[in-house]
Structures are given as structure tokens and as C-alpha cells.
């Protein structure tokens, strides 16, 4: 995968470097005129400049080495293209909507959305990261399930149960906080993860052993979780005066992990992003580097072949849902282990579980892709927040996201196109009309002598 990513960038170095330069000119430079420490600015500019130079350098080298690379043959490239096209379609739809409703301010509003997390420099960037965390984790939950052939539409329910558990522990188990500063938070988060995992295991079991569609059980359990959450809050941790859950103890609040130094003006940033990145790495390793991941993906790609290979498909399905649920539970925990954020006993599904689907699709159902897509969504959401200054409703962002999901679903047929191109190539190899990699190497070596 690393190889292919390299290929992608290196093949399109012109487009990318132009795009990056524009990006720098439009988004980073103007902030010189907004009050921000010029030192911070120059540091940022320097980093950006070095990155660009490095990428351009790499492009040139790779282009020399691989003159015959064709983008249409890379499944990865086409998938990324599909995601980008879906994003563009969604954004365009939003733009058109804004033009219809308020033509005068439409373009200004649109650029606010696109600039997103950079609207207020590091402050909004920090806020953006904070908002992305539950989305990334929710997206990971769904991405992991997808990779193993399951659609975990029940992520919202797992998230909700995780959130409740975290808050409950945060409110009631203050004694732990006296033992050690971070332990209380850790236990609360851990509890969220476990309960989320258990809630996810239910559709997993039913699918594996009773062949019940996990979409249906997922939806049902979403609602059960929603009602259970309300019920339990009112029964155990209710704050009557404000119609919400009681405050969690300070010791249960997600620690800042010194991130406030990186993002000085942001009021929301916390260490949640560290947890998210750790989970991203763990899931990436599981999926790509372990025998367990090998089995999970095999079961997801071709259940019959996995049986032929002697794998226990049923057990793997349950494991996959457990891990998926754990991630969603973590999302719920991190969402509410924050000072000033309260779980409410209202009968409404928590939307982050569903936006996770968009994040996962955009991120091509891979852990790192989900991370990037989650940050992107966080940026969009920040843009929506700042849109309010212009008389636009922030819901436009949700509209855009919905259109992006729809466009992603359509994009699947792009994959078939790639497969066809690849097949043609293999046919030619078969007939001896194109050299295989090895023969190419031999030729290159041969001609050097």
C-alpha cells in the first residue's frame, strides 16, 4: 500500500504541487493579516514549504524509475478518485443550495466551509481535532466491520451504551479518582469500550449462529440502547434541575495530554485524539499484519474460500463485531468524558454513529483513510459552525455529508472499470505480449551491462 500511495503522488506531481501551492497561497498566507503570532506562522509556512519541496523531489525520481505506470490500473487510485469525486459532488450540491437560498453570500459561505478548520488558525484547528475524534472512532468501527464483510449500522447503539457507561463511572466511581489522577478517566473509558464491545457482540452472534441480518439487529439495538440510556440516566445519574446527567468528576475528564501547548487558543482540544490515533494504529496492524486480520478479511471477502481453508467463519464474525463495537464504545466515551458536555435522556439517536458511515466510506474503509476522512469531516463541521455568522444554518453540512454518502455508493461501479482494465493487462501478459515485472528487471539489468 505504501508503494501504491507513492505511485499515486509521484505520477501526479504536477497537479499536486500546483494544488498545494494554491492551498498555501489561499489559506495560509491571508492569516498573516489576522492576528496570530508571526513566529507560529513562519514555522507553519516553513514546514509546508519543506514538505512541498520534498514531495516534488520524490516525484521526479519516481517518474524516472517507472515510466510505464498507468493510473487506471491501480484500484487504490480509482477508489481515492471515487471518494474525491463524491466529496466534490457533495460540496457542489451544498453550493447550489446556498446559491438558491442566499445568492449574495453563497460563495463566501462556501469558502468558509472549505477552509473549515483553518478559519481561526490554530484555535479552530484544535477544535476541529476535538470534534473529529468521535467521528474517527465511529468510522473505524464501521470500517473494521466492512473489512470483514459486515455492515455495522448499530454503531450508534454501541456508542450510546459506551457513553452511558463512561458517564456512569465518571459520576459514581469517584473513589478511583483519589487513587491516581488518570486512573478514573482510564477506567471510565475502558468501561465504555467493554460495554460497546458487548453491545456489538449481539448482532455478531445473531449473524454468525442464526444467520440474522446484522443491519436489522443493529437498527433494533440502536433504539433499545437509546431508550435504555434514557431509562438508566433518570434512574441513576439524573440531574433534575437541568434535565441531564449529573456532572462527571473532574478526575474522569479526558486529560489534555499537553496538547494545549500545540493549540493554544483552542478551548476544546484534549487527549482524545491520542486515543483515536492509537486505535487507528492498532486496527491497522491487526488488519494488515496479523494472522487474525488475514482470517477476518478472508471471511469478509469470500466466506466459502475461508471455509475451504479451514477457518472458523462464525467465530471470526463475532470477533469482528466485538472489536467494531469496542471502537464505537470508545467514541461514545470520549464524546462525553468532557467537562460541560452532558448526556441527556432524550429519545433521539446520537448522529455520530451514522456520520461514521460516511467517514468510513470516504476513507475507503481503511484505518488511516478513516483518520483522514474524520479530520476532513471535522473541518467541514467547523466550517458549518462558523457559517452561522452569515445567516446560514449549519445543517447544510449534514446535507452535504448525506450527498457525499449517496455519491460514494454510486461510485462502486468505478471499481468494475478498473478491474476490466487490469484484466486486459493480464490477458496480454498471458499471451506473452507484455513483459512481467521479472522480465522487465532482467531487461533493465541486461541493458546495463
Cα-based distances in Å from 412 to 82, 255, 321: 8, 41, 24
H-helix or E-strand containing 276?
Answer: helix 272-289
Q: How far apart are CB 395 and other proteins at their closest, in Å?
A: 4
* Cβ atoms within 10 Å, residue 302: 13
Among 310, 446, 447, 448, binds other proteins (CB under 8 A): 310
Judged by CB under 8 A, does residue 297 bind other proteins?
A: yes
Among 115, 206, 208, 259, binds other proteins (CB under 8 A): 206
Q: How far apart are CB 368 and other proteins at their closest, in Å?
A: 18
Complex with other proteins: residue 117 or 353, whichever CB lies closer: 353
CA distance 359 to 376: 9
Site track for other proteins across 99-128, x = CB under 8 A: --x---------------------------
Judged by CB under 8 A, does residue 437 bind other proteins?
A: yes
Judged by CB under 8 A, does residue 361 bind other proteins?
A: yes
SS3 142: helix
Cα-based distances in Å from 130 to 269, 383, 430, 449: 5, 14, 52, 58
**Backbone phi, then psi, for 239, in 5-degree steps?**
-110, 95
Q: How far apart are CB 398 and other proteins at their closest, in Å?
A: 3
Question: H helices within 34-173, ranges in order?
Answer: 38-65, 75-101, 103-115, 121-147, 155-172
Identify residues 398-427 at the interface with other proteins (CB under 8 A): 398-399, 401-403, 405-406, 408-410, 412-413, 419, 422-423, 425-427
**Backbone phi, then psi, for 238, in 5-degree steps?**
-90, 135
Judged by CB under 8 A, does residue 216 bind other proteins?
A: yes
Among 31, 148, 306, 366, binds other proteins (CB under 8 A): 306
Identify residues 55-84 at the interface with other proteins (CB under 8 A): 75
Size of residue set near other proteins by CB under 8 A: 81
CA distance 214 to 199: 12
Judged by CB under 8 A, does residue 284 bind other proteins?
A: no
Q: How far apart are CB 421 and other proteins at their closest, in Å?
A: 9
Judged by CB under 8 A, does residue 2 bind other proteins?
A: no
**Residue that has been written with the C-alpha cell 492551498 in this structure:** 23
Stretch that binds other proteins, among 169-177, 187-195, 292-300, 366-374 (CB under 8 A): 292-300
CA distance 153 to 218: 6
Residues 190, 126 contacting (CB under 8 angstroms): no
**Residue that has been written with the C-alpha cell 440502547 in this structure:** 225
Q: Which of these, 139, 153, 140, lies nearest to 356 by C-alpha position?
A: 139
Complex with other proteins: residue 95 or 253, whichever CB lies closer: 95
Complex with other proteins: residue 38 or 347, whichever CB lies closer: 347
Site track for other proteins across 340-359, x = CB under 8 A: -------xxx----xx-xx-
Complex with other proteins: residue 96 or 256, whichever CB lies closer: 96
* Cβ atoms within 10 Å, residue 13: 17
Cα-based distances in Å from 326 to 28, 109, 320, 362: 38, 38, 10, 21
Cα-based distances in Å from 442 to 162, 429, 431, 432, 436: 57, 16, 19, 15, 10
Residues 381, 268 contacting (CB under 8 angstroms): no
**Residue that has been written with the C-alpha cell 474517527 in this structure:** 136
Stretch that binds other proteins, among 34-42, 228-236, 316-324, 372-380 (CB under 8 A): 228-236
Chain centroid to CA 81: how far? 17
Stretch that binds other proteins, among 10-18, 205-213, 253-261, 270-278 (CB under 8 A): 205-213
Q: How far apart are CB 219 and other proteins at their closest, in Å?
A: 5
Judged by CB under 8 A, does residue 258 bind other proteins?
A: no
Residues 197, 322 contacting (CB under 8 angstroms): yes
Q: How far apart are CB 211 and other proteins at their closest, in Å?
A: 5
Q: How far apart are CB 247 and other proteins at their closest, in Å?
A: 23
Stretch that binds other proteins, among 167-175, 211-219, 259-267, 316-324 (CB under 8 A): 211-219
Stretch that binds other proteins, among 158-166, 193-201, 220-228, 317-325 (CB under 8 A): 220-228
Grid cell listed for 279: 486505535
Complex with other proteins: residue 18 or 409, whichever CB lies closer: 409
**Residue that has been written with the C-alpha cell 466510506 in this structure:** 361
Judged by CB under 8 A, does residue 309 bind other proteins?
A: yes
SS3 366: coil
Judged by CB under 8 A, does residue 445 bind other proteins?
A: no
Amino acid at each position: 500500500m505504501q508503494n501504491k500511495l507513492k505511485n499515486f503522488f509521484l505520477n501526479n506531481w504536477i497537479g499536486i504541487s500546483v494544488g498545494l501551492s494554491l492551498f498555501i497561497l489561499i489559506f495560509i498566507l491571508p492569516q498573516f493579516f489576522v492576528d496570530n503570532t508571526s513566529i507560529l506562522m513562519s514555522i507553519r509556512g516553513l514546514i509546508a514549504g519543506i514538505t512541498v519541496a520534498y514531495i516534488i523531489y520524490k516525484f521526479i525520481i519516481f517518474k524516472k524509475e517507472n515510466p510505464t505506470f498507468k493510473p487506471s490500473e491501480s484500484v487504490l487510485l480509482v477508489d481515492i478518485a471515487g471518494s474525491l469525486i463524491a466529496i466534490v459532488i457533495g460540496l457542489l450540491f451544498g453550493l447550489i443550495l446556498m446559491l438558491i437560498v442566499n445568492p449574495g453570500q453563497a460563495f463566501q459561505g462556501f469558502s468558509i466551509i472549505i477552509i473549515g478548520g483553518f478559519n481561526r488558525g490554530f484555535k479552530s484547528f484544535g477544535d476541529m481535532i476535538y470534534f473529529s475524534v468521535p467521528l474517527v472512532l465511529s468510522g473505524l468501527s464501521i470500517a473494521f466491520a466492512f473489512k470483514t464483510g459486515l455492515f455495522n449500522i448499530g454503531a450508534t447503539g454501541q456508542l450510546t451504551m459506551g457513553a452511558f457507561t463512561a458517564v456512569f463511572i465518571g459520576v459514581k466511581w469517584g473513589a478511583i479518582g483519589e487513587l491516581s489522577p488518570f486512573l478514573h478517566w482510564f477506567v471510565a473509558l475502558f468501561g465504555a469500550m467493554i460495554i460497546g464491545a458487548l453491545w456489538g457482540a449481539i448482532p455478531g452472534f445473531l449473524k454468525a449462529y442464526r444467520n440474522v441480518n446484522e443491519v436489522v439487529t443493529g437498527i433494533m439495538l440502536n433504539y433499545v440502547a437509546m431508550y435504555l440510556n434514557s431509562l438508566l440516566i433518570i434512574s441513576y445519574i439524573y440531574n433534575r434541575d437541568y434535565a441531564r446527567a449529573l456532572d462527571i468528576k473532574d478526575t474522569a475528564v479526558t486529560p489534555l495530554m499537553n496538547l494545549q501547548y500545540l493549540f493554544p487558543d483552542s478551548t476544546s482540544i484534549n487527549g482524545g485524539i491520542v486515543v483515536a490515533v492509537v486505535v487507528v494504529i492498532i486496527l491497522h496492524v491487526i488488519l494488515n499484519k496479523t494472522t487474525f486480520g488475514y482470517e477476518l478479511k478472508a471471511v469478509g471477502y469470500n466466506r466459502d474460500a475461508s471455509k475451504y481453508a479451514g477457518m472458523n467463519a462464525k467465530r471470526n464474525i463475532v470477533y469482528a463485531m466485538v472489536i467494531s463495537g469496542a471502537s464505537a464504545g470508545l467514541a461514545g466515551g470520549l464524546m462525553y468524558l468532557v467537562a460541560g458536555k452532558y448526556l441527556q435522556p432524550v429519545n433521539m439517536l446520537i448522529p455520530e454513529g451514522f456520520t461514521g458511515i460516511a467517514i468510513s466510506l470516504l476513507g475507503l474503509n481503511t484505518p488511516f483513510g478513516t483518520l483522514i476522512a474524520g479530520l476532513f469531516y471535522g473541518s467541514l463541521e467547523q466550517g458549518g459552525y462558523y457559517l452561522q455568522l452569515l445567516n446560514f444554518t449549519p445543517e447544510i453540512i449534514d446535507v452535504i455529508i448525506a450527498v457525499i454518502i449517496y455519491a460514494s455508493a454510486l461510485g462502486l461501479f468505478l471499481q468494475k472499470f478498473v478491474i476490466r482494465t487490469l484484466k486486459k493487462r493480464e490477458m496480454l501478459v498471458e499471451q506473452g505480449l507484455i513483459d512481467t515485472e521479472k522480465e522487465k528487471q532482467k531487461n533493465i539489468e541486461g541493458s546495463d551491462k
